[in-house]
Structure 1
Amino acid sequence: MLWEAFPSALDLARFQFAFTVVWHFLFPAFTIGLASYLAVLEGLWLATGRAVFIETFRWWLRVFAVAFAMGVVSGIVMSYQFGTNWSAFSDRAGPVIGPLLGYEVLTAFFLEAGFLGVMLFGLNRVGRPLHFAATCCVAVGTLMSTFWIIAANSWMQTPAGHEVAADGRFLPLDWWAIIFNPSFPYRFLHVVAGAYLTTAFIVGAVGAFHLLRDPANRHARLMFSMAMWMALVAAPAQVVLGDLHGLNTLEHQPAKVAAMEGHWEERRTGAPLILFALPDMERERNDLELGIPGLGSLILGHAWDAEIRGLKAFPADARPTNVPLVFWSFRVMVGIGLLMVALGLVAFVMRLRGRLFDAPWLHRFAVAMGPSGLVAVTAGWIVTEAGRQPFTVYGLMRTAESVSPIAAPAVATSLAMFVVVYFAVFGAGIWLLFRLFGVPPHPAQEGPEEGAPIRTAGITPAPSLPGRQVVPAPAGE
């Protein structure tokens, strides 16, 4: 039979969920930080009255609207898969996961959706304080949404606060322990910092792109300057948060860390930091291994003689099912993180020298780093999810026990439809975003006079707002 050559329904369901979740998270990873950036821009405008802030706010507001819409649409598709492809998981883990996802909708999504219209269309229709409050509500809503989603995922990684009923269902006992499970604080801060960095590097890349075309563009200068400040602060902070998260993972998911580090044998002392290797799962060894002696023990155990467990210390059916994927995804994430730190430091040095806005090589570097945050957060989620396998609820429920009783051809058909539709719809959406990125972020005139309408290229002019005088920013912003 032709169907016998197909992968199993489990493999297809896993790939389908991975495909949709990767597409989905590209947009929230951007809009979480962008919502906060918009709130900061509007707050600075209200505090200073400088036109450059509100003009930049208007410019990015269109981008936010498109990215937010694509994030919502792609997220809805994922929720349906819990019923179609993962009904066994939904049945057993639903008493815990269901309320957490429900809280996300009630407390976060409704907050975002309720104030989004005011944020997008109300700048000239409501008072300034109310519009700023709406912008802040949208920003807070994105963070609250992240809170509940990460709480649900973290419980699956480090389950706590539940009991297992006779029929195998996970029943909640302590919601505080469920939500604030052992890995949640580290995972939440790591994800939020990653989202802020993702936004910072996209904003910085757009600003740098327009600086290459017009070094005097004060809006591009503002974007680039603010992005590089965020890179300087958040990138090193993310390194620290990543180290803390790694130590927490070592305590609760040591097999995942062994796969991340590429260790097969137990190292009682002086474990190397493996920089390059080709993990061979069949022979349980690494080929072409290149490492720094002792540094692995220092990083993981904070001591040169720290003992590090290898993959062979765990049963074969309890190890990550794809060690090379976990190993290389981790290195992609870390490598990009180090480049982010480097760009932030270099930009800071150039700022001190007064050359932040007239260094084309730095701007080209920033443009090249534009998608780095998206790549890093995607690689990080691959490490998290592929490293958790072969479990959906770590140590308690296997992925093979979670899949729906559905035939492989049915999953393959829906997967093929997803691929076609996603590349068509979201490909068009991403193309639109790039078109918006290419619109020069400056008004027709150098700066509005008092009482004149605020104009931003590509945006319908709005009537001037009553109250505070709009003051143009200096060209050296």
Structure 2
Amino acid sequence: MIDFTAIDLARIQFAFTVSFHIIFPAITIGLASYLAVLEGLWLYTRKPIYMTLCRFWMKVFAVNFAMGVVSGIVMAYQFGTNWSQFSNFAGAITGPLLSYEVMTAFFLEAGFLGVMLFGWNKVGEKLHFTSTCLVAIGTLISMTWILASNSWMQTPQGYEIIDGRAVPVDWFEIIFNPSFPYRLVHMGLAAFLATALLVGGSGAWHLLKGSHTQAAKKMLSMAMWMLLIIAPLQAFVGDEHGLNTLEYQPMKVAAMEGHWHESEPGEGVPLVLFGWPNMEEERNDYAIEIPRVASLILTHSLDGTIAPLTSVPPEDRPYVPIVFFSFRIMVALGLLMILLGITGLVLRKKGRLYEKKWFLRFCVAMGPAGLIAMLTGWFVTEAGRQPWVVYGLQRTVDASSAHSMTAMSYSLLTFVVLYVCVFGVGVRYMLALIKKGPEQVYDNDNKDDLNKRPARPLSAADGVEL
């Protein structure tokens, strides 16, 4: 039986809340850019299908944005309540970075979100499109500041330790720390992939049901083009990110690979396809390995070596099973995304993209794959950094607040119940919107049709059972 401590419960609570939170901003980032593309295509071509899809996904975006804001507020409070020693140690750096996110990105999004959602018949077409673009840009700026803060915790630089606190010395080095560019691109592509799979899965589902055929075909087509381009690019960026991690956080990579012991000279490091990491025995049980392949991937040499987990004391190692299995789930889903994109291209060339039911079912099944891959990627990132909260500077055990086991137990239970109730209803409502599908809301010959349609997101699911 696992013997939990108050710190363990605080970590579980933070992992639980951040896992909920990261889903909504990722969809927000991807959908905001998708909406800008749809509205831009409508302005350029005047084809009603683009406006139909834009109005449909904007309702989903509005609900998702609201849940992202609510879940994000909770994250900020936790730094002060459960991780006060971290705030005391690194607050001079992470505090301003998060403030910059609010003053730039959030103010920009909030300023133009109302025009974007409710200004269809109140402002000109170009001004509305500008508002949509600015909201999309705001989501990207927000992502940039958040990842700058998180990346500094992974690869800190540009600071000095004065009186036991990290004090900023060079903000350029703090923001553009060694892992920041890789994390920024990797996360941005992950958000676009998650959105493409969500849109493609929605289109495939409606094609299987025989509903909203024209709109469903357009959704599926655009999603497959995005997947075909972005999925292989994400694999390349992920490889570059892994090499950067190997340089600055070698124990994280060792945990990802399940590499326990130093290899013999010239033997190389095998790729562990499957195994069960045994922390006590310092080995992988039931391992299935391919010799030298991990060396080829990580060092681009068949006999290259990497630091094993046993090169550091046990207390300096991450919890290997979480990192090991999360990494394999992420990679497996990434390969399936590439396969889906290539399969879509082949079927498109044959003129059968919208007809093969097995392919449409594949698309529906892959609908949540982008979000799952992103979550497992973050599990690798955060669990692999342990036992450090600021890598090499402050341990997680030294970053927490002095709460009792009882207090943390009640707090965690309250969070779980509230999150499941509140966000469970929100997610269910979003799925109801997607299930209902798009409606023709704009016709070139009848512009008054747009003015008569309600812009409230909740109005889109009238009559839908939740």
Give the TM-score category using the shorter length.
over 0.9
Residue 122 to residue 316, structure 1, CA distance change in 2 (3 Å): same
Amino acid at match of 2:379: I
Partner in structure 2 of residue 89 of structure 1: 86
Partner in structure 2 of residue 473 of structure 1: none
Instruction: Give the whole-Å Cα distance in 2 for the aligned partners of 1:260 and 1:149.
Output: 24
Residues 13-37 of structure 1, C-alpha deviations (whole Å, 9 max, x = no match): 1011001000111111111100000
Instruction: Give the whole-Å Cα distance in 1 for the aligned partners of 2:3 and 2:449.
Output: 59
Instruction: Give the whole-Å Cα distance in 1 for the aligned partners of 2:208 and 2:281.
Output: 51
Instruction: Give the whole-Å Cα distance in 1 for the aligned partners of 2:424 and 2:446.
Output: 41
**Aligned pair partner of 2:298 in 282, 297, 300:** 300
Alignment gaps of 5+ in structure 1: 463-477
Instruction: Give the whole-Å Cα distance in 2 for the aligned partners of 1:6 and 1:406.
Output: 17
Question: 8 Å contact 2:48–2:444 — kept in the other structure?
Answer: no
Amino acid at match of 1:59: F
Instruction: Map 1:381-460 to 2 at 5 A.
Output: 381-443=378-440, 448=443, 450-454=445-449, 460=454
Instruction: Give the whole-Å Cα distance in 2 for the aligned partners of 1:76 and 1:417.
Output: 16
Partner in structure 1 of residue 462 of structure 2: none
Partner in structure 1 of residue 251 of structure 2: 255
Asked if 1:204 is matched to 2:218, the reply is no
Please report how far the alpha carbon of residue 338 of structure 1 lies from its aligned counterpart in structure 2 after TM superposition: 0.3
Q: Kindly, what percent of the aligned residue pairs are identical?
A: 57
Amino acid at match of 1:343: L
Partner in structure 2 of residue 18 of structure 1: 15
SS in 1 for 2:436: coil
Partner in structure 2 of residue 468 of structure 1: none
Q: Which moved more, 1:324-333 or 1:310-319?
A: 310-319
Amino acid at match of 1:36: S
Q: Which moved more, 1:434-443 or 1:148-157?
A: 434-443
Partner in structure 2 of residue 470 of structure 1: none
Partner in structure 2 of residue 143 of structure 1: 140
Partner in structure 2 of residue 466 of structure 1: none
Please report how far the alpha carbon of residue 313 of structure 1 lies from its aligned counterpart in structure 2 after TM superposition: 1.0
Residues 324-367 of structure 1, C-alpha deviations (whole Å, 9 max, x = no match): 11000000000000000000000011111111111111111000
TM-score norm. by structure 2 comes to 0.95
Partner in structure 1 of residue 54 of structure 2: 57
**Aligned pair partner of 1:192 in 188, 193, 200:** 188
Asked if 1:174 is matched to 2:162, the reply is no
Instruction: Map 1:305-320 to 2 at 5 A.
Output: 305-320=303-318
Residues 298-344 of structure 1, C-alpha deviations (whole Å, 9 max, x = no match): 00101111112210111222111x10110000000000000000000
Residues 100-151 of structure 1, C-alpha deviations (whole Å, 9 max, x = no match): 0000100111111111100000011101111011101110010000000000
Instruction: Give the whole-Å Cα distance in 2 for the aligned partners of 1:21 and 1:331.
Output: 21
Partner in structure 1 of residue 336 of structure 2: 339
Please report how far the alpha carbon of residue 453 of structure 1 lies from its aligned counterpart in structure 2 after TM superposition: 4.0
TM-score norm. by structure 1 comes to 0.92
Residue 194 to residue 204, structure 1, CA distance change in 2 (3 Å): same
**Aligned pair partner of 2:221 in 225, 233, 253:** 225
Please report how far the alpha carbon of residue 461 of structure 1 lies from its aligned counterpart in structure 2 after TM superposition: 8.7
Please report how far the alpha carbon of residue 262 of structure 1 lies from its aligned counterpart in structure 2 after TM superposition: 0.4
Alignment gaps of 5+ in structure 2: 457-466
Question: 8 Å contact 1:6–1:408 — kept in the other structure?
Answer: no
Question: 8 Å contact 1:96–1:171 — kept in the other structure?
Answer: yes
Asked if 1:239 is matched to 2:235, the reply is yes
Please report how far the alpha carbon of residue 455 of structure 1 lies from its aligned counterpart in structure 2 after TM superposition: 6.3
Question: 8 Å contact 1:32–1:139 — kept in the other structure?
Answer: yes
Partner in structure 2 of residue 80 of structure 1: 77
Please report how far the alpha carbon of residue 260 of structure 1 lies from its aligned counterpart in structure 2 after TM superposition: 0.2
- How large is the RMSD of aligned CA atoms in angstroms? 1.7
Please report how far the alpha carbon of residue 425 of structure 1 lies from its aligned counterpart in structure 2 after TM superposition: 0.4
Amino acid at match of 2:296: L
Partner in structure 1 of residue 459 of structure 2: none
